[in-house]
Amino acid sequence: MVIPCSKYHAHRALILASLAPGTSYIKGLSDAGHVRHTIGALRKLGTRIEVRGDEFVVHGGQYSPRQQQVSVGSSGTTLYFMTGLVSLADAPVTVVGQKYFQRRPIGPLLEALSTLGVRLDSPTNCPPIEVQPKRPTGGHVRIPGTLSQWISGLLLLAPFATGPSTVTVEGEFNERSYIDLTIRMMAQFGLHVDVSEDGRRYEIAGNQEARPASLTLPPDIGAAAFGLAATALHPSDVLFRGLPAVPWEQVDHPESDLLRLVAEMGLPMTPDPETGLVRVRHDGVELSPIEVDCRSVPDMLPVLSVLSAFGARGTTVLDNVAHVRLKESDRVSAMLQLNRMGGRLEARDDQLLVHGVGIDKLAGADLSSFNDHRVLMALAIAGTRAEGETRLTYPNAYRISYPRFLDEMNAIGLDLSTAPGGRESRTTQVSSVSPGSVSPSRAASTPIGDLVRRWARQRPTDEAIIDVGAGEGQDQTLTWKQLDERVDAVATMLLELGVAPGEPVAFQLPNRVEFVVLSMAIARIGAVSCPLMPIFRQREMAFMLRRSRARVFVVPAGFRGRDYPAEVAALLASDDRPPALAHVLVLDADGPVPAGTGPSWHDYAEAVARQVPDHEALDARRPEPTALAQLLFTSGTSGEPKGVLHRMDALTRAAAMEVRHLGLGSDDRIFIPSPLAHQTGFLYGMWLAVVLGVPQILQPIWSGHTALSALRRHRGTFVQAATPFLGDLVEAVEQTGETTEALRIFVATGTAVPRGLAERATRTLGAAVCGAWGSTETCLGSLSAPGDEPAKVWGTDGRALVDVRLRITDDDGNVLAPGQEGNFEVSSRCLFEGYLDHPEWTAEALTPDGWYRSGDLAIIDESGFVHISGRVKDVVNRGGEKVPVAEIEQLLYNHPAVRDVAIVAMPDPRLGERACAFAVIEEGASFDMAELQRFLDERQVAKQYWPERLEIASELPRNPTGKVQKFLLRQQVQRLIDGEGHK
């Protein structure tokens, strides 16, 4: 289990660094929702925050707001810390937040800030809060000790006042450990606070200046708490990566006291001898009751309640709980819901008494999380001990503090998933028995045609397909019932045409309803889908139709100005060895279809309309899940296209594996701009949507603006597409100011995502941008997930999916250790069956022990994340020194003048090869060899790795998936060199 970095430290470090003129380095990233809101607010105030590798680089100094309104999102911490600090800006600022923040009273804090001389206006003592640009004067303020964030907010501001300040805490003083953390971190940035012995009086000199700092974020004990609770309630053997096995007093975290408490309860936390990290290993343990003063660990009440209720026998006393009722919810009342599951909890005055029931039988229940992240996660852990299913409202609340919660819990064998419903009734489902929301093994055992029937029965009137090709206001929609009926009709037509089991049916269609209907109909009768890209012309089509031996071929009457029936007729008439077509069907035929010798021509609509489905005949053709289902020709970056054969169960398993890896659910809506005739659109668009039983939104002609409009109209939540699609969508959002409100995840494939684009896209789209690696032959092999560390999400090609094995080997087949570059190889149950008609190619593609040779060079780091460094064939071997092509391309992409870039080898008589860079330049920008060298020199890149030739191009040649066709660039530079030699 991977423990993320502390969000408490991240908040404070980012804010303090923003106040320190110069550059600060914060090692260790956090993408907790609260921290992302702080980053967003600071950036709107003009602070430049970069992500480099696994660290934040913050360029601090004067706040110069980019806009008058600065949102703190849904983060109370950001609100409390930043409200006073925006007075240091050079322009007025209005602090706003999510709608419910307009009911969050912070009157005591606002009154204290006014006393310090902050000029602000908030008629309701809630956001929005108008703050004028004026340094505070200082003074003596008194503040209730109710919430530590109020006190920390005053302490962060006071050093920048023109005079001294005193902050006195009155009344019950809670959460002092968080204030102590604020003071310790202020000291690291050169800011000093004098604290009285009882911790109630703080004296701060004015006119202090923060200085830049370099620091490392410690582990988040608040996140580790849920893993510790899970391992306490179940027999376990779990290593907590990131959590050092040191005395709890040495852990720099305001909630470190939790480690002492769970140790006192009897959880066996032992040092792992190999790593020095915490490991929990036991075959079942009964915990002991304890007494807890919740003022030291106020946020731990929910998880301690679960541990005490279902892991211990005897009565645990949680004392001083009154202020815990003032958190995101009344957490005391929220945890009384455990009684519905068989617990015995009672609230008495300022105490919560938890009478442990140990291993007694518990029952699942429908509970409310009150949109409180800690309540949601604690109740979810409780649900894993109950028989049956526990359902919790507001399932996404955990993302605000622990985005990887579901992934980490499922990774250690628990079962948590999301389920659909209305806005307030959507639930997290927790089960201690079933293996997950979409089990790859279970899904793969069902023919895809049966899944269409299942959804038609279970949700007949729900949307199945939305075709946006006709433009806004003319979208075509099919329900699941309508889809099932059309599939039956088309399947019956295919039987009438004599399509046999295992026979390929070819079709050259854009993204439209009929593509999906035809694919599902072919699968329903056990035939093989052979989709062909609409961009292919006569040469490619003649080869693929001949190689596939398809007898039935479906084309549109026209698309993007092309007359497909005329092209097919010309192909059949001119080719020396015409394909063995028996039937050609034309969609949207306007008038009679071609006739004459050769195949029979049909109007597709007429052929389908006359069918009366024979369900008995269709049922008799129901295929086994292991039947061949797809023949897909690689679009190729070099050489002859290869016909890749896949079984139905492999495709379904691959889709279900991605569903599980990303936490997709039945409330998602799949947007498909990638061609359905390519594996990205076919498998991770259409097939995935059918496996999930959710709508798929089809866009036939790519346009970033059209995509943005479609995503907004139909609330698309998931996209998998090539990197250029991502860049165009980001540009559309930036140009229009409209947002992709529902979009959660964009998986970028085909080529590495430049880190600058990934960070910009994450910020602009408000969605996770996940890197991935896959191939037609293997399906996805590696994929990052929204909750992974940002540096891993943006800077890698992901980690292995469940049931996928990855390795790096040298040229002799020896497996290399983490961190070493070599040949990237994949093994999984989603591998292709082989290349059509070429068993020798299949044998060459596989190692003797059955691993697929990808042809890529890669590094797998210690955490298991993949870094693709280039293609074996694309390596630049400069006098025996291999140039890290992908790394140099990433660097050059970050140059403001460079829009796109690719580096290839060019022949050299002395060194064998040198590097040539092809660059596409932004309009109006300039970029030459001298600037390229200056840029790489400034970044201290070894000169042996510098490209030694630069060619400016209008665009880079790419195949339909977005991969740069480097073989064409190598040919181009060879021609240039030959021409220069001739001169």
Annotated binding residues for phosphoenolpyruvate, written as ranges, equal 7, 76, 104, 149, 331, 374
Residues 6 or more apart in contact with residue 171 via CB below 8 angstroms: 144, 145, 146
Q: How far apart (Å, rounded) are the C-alpha atoms in residues 229 and 2? A: 15
In DSSP notation, 541-604 reads: HHHHHHHHT-SEEEEESEETTEEHHHHHHHHHHH-SS----SEEEEET--SPPP-SSSSEEEEH
The answer to whether 969 touches 874, Cβ cutoff 8 Å, is no
User: How far is 69 from 77, CA to CA, in rounded Å?
Assistant: 18
Q: Which residues contact 55 (CB under 8 A, 6 or more apart)?
A: 25, 26, 27, 28, 29, 791
E strand or H helix that includes residue 257: helix 257-265
Cβ–Cβ under 8 Å, residues 953 and 920: yes
Phi-psi domain of 125 (left: phi exceeds 0; alpha: psi -120 through 50; beta: other): left
Known binding-site positions for 3-phosphoshikimate: 7, 12, 148-149, 299, 327
Q: How far apart are CA 268 and CA 279, in angstroms?
A: 8
- Torsions phi, psi for 509 (to 5 deg): -125, 150
Distance of alpha carbon 335 from alpha carbon 125, whole angstroms = 30
Cβ-count burial of 753 within 10 angstroms (0-12 exposed, 13-18 middle, 19+ buried)? buried
C-alpha–C-alpha distance, residues 357 and 348, integer Å: 19
Element (H, E) at 515: helix 513-524
Annotated catalytic sites, by residue?
Answer: 299
- Tokens 């593509």 label which residue? 515
Strands 552-556 and 504-507: parallel
- Say how far residue 119 (Cα) sits from the centre of its chain: 41
The answer to whether residues 4 and 34 touch, using CB atoms and an 8 Å cutoff, is no
Three-state secondary structure along 315-363?
EEEEECCHHHHHCCCCHHHHHHHHHHHCCEEEEECCEEEEEEECCCCCE
Tokens in use for 951? 């060619």
HEC assignment per residue over 364-389: CCEECCCCCHHHHHHHHHHHCCCECE
Q: How far apart are CA 217 and CA 6, in angstroms?
A: 6
Residue 733 structure tokens:
């959002």
Name the helix (H) or strand (E) containing 238.
Answer: strand 236-244
Residue 748 · residue 767 · CB < 8 Å: no
| Whole-angstrom distance, CA of residue 747 vs CA of residue 396 | 20
Return all residues near 482 (Cβ < 8 A) that are at least 6 apart: 464
Q: What residue numbers does the annotated binding site cover? A: 7, 12, 76, 104, 148-149, 299, 327, 331, 374
| Of the candidates 277, 290, 372, the residue with the CA atom closest to the CA atom of residue 334 | 372
The whole-angstrom separation of Cα 687 and Cα 681 is 8
Distance CA 139, CA 302 (A): 38
**CA distance linking residue 936 with residue 922, whole number of Å:** 19
User: Do strands 768-775 and 745-749 pair parallel, antiparallel, or not at all (unpaired)?
Assistant: parallel
**DSSP states of 85-100:** HGGGSSS-EEEE--GG
Tell me how far apart the 2 most distant CA atoms of the chain are, in Å: 100
Helix (H) or strand (E) holding 728: helix 723-736
- How much helix, strand and coil, in percent to the nearest 5, is found in the chain? 35, 25, 40
